[in-house]
Amino acid sequence: MPAQTILGQSVLLAFRIALVWAGGILFAVIVRAVLPDNLGFVIHSKGTGILLPFSRVAFWTCIWAAITVTVLVVIRSMLIDFGIRTQP
């Protein structure tokens, strides 16, 4: 059942943001627990290489996704406050 009021939409979006944050952190913890620390991307430079473990890549990807969703919701709320509707 879709929310008909702006407050109802805001509450639904808050729950979605919370689920994205929780899912991202949970995914990062699972990846960290399952994969060994020496498995990942190696960035080669002159004479040496930098190991970027998959566990850190997963963690920062999930954090970035959660921040992106949060920013989009804030922008949407600001547009609604200014009187611009994002939905028909």
In contact, 50 and 42? CB cutoff 8 Å: yes
The pLDDT value recorded for residue 2 is: 61
Q: What is the pLDDT of residues 24-66, one digit of tens each?
A: 778 778 877 887 777 777 888 888 888 777 777 767 777 787 7
> Domain coordinates of the chain in residue numbers?
6-81
Q: Which residue has the higher pLDDT, 45 or 86?
A: 45
Q: Provide the token pair at 87.
A: 């939905």
Q: What is the pLDDT of residues 5-21, one digit of tens each?
A: 776 777 787 788 788 77
Global pTM value: 0.53
Helix/strand/coil (H/E/C) assignment for every residue in 7-75: HHHHHHHHHHHHHHHHHHHHHHHHHHHHCCCCCEEEEECCCCEEEEEHHHHHHHHHHHHHHHHHHHHHH
Q: Provide the token pair at 73.
A: 């919701």
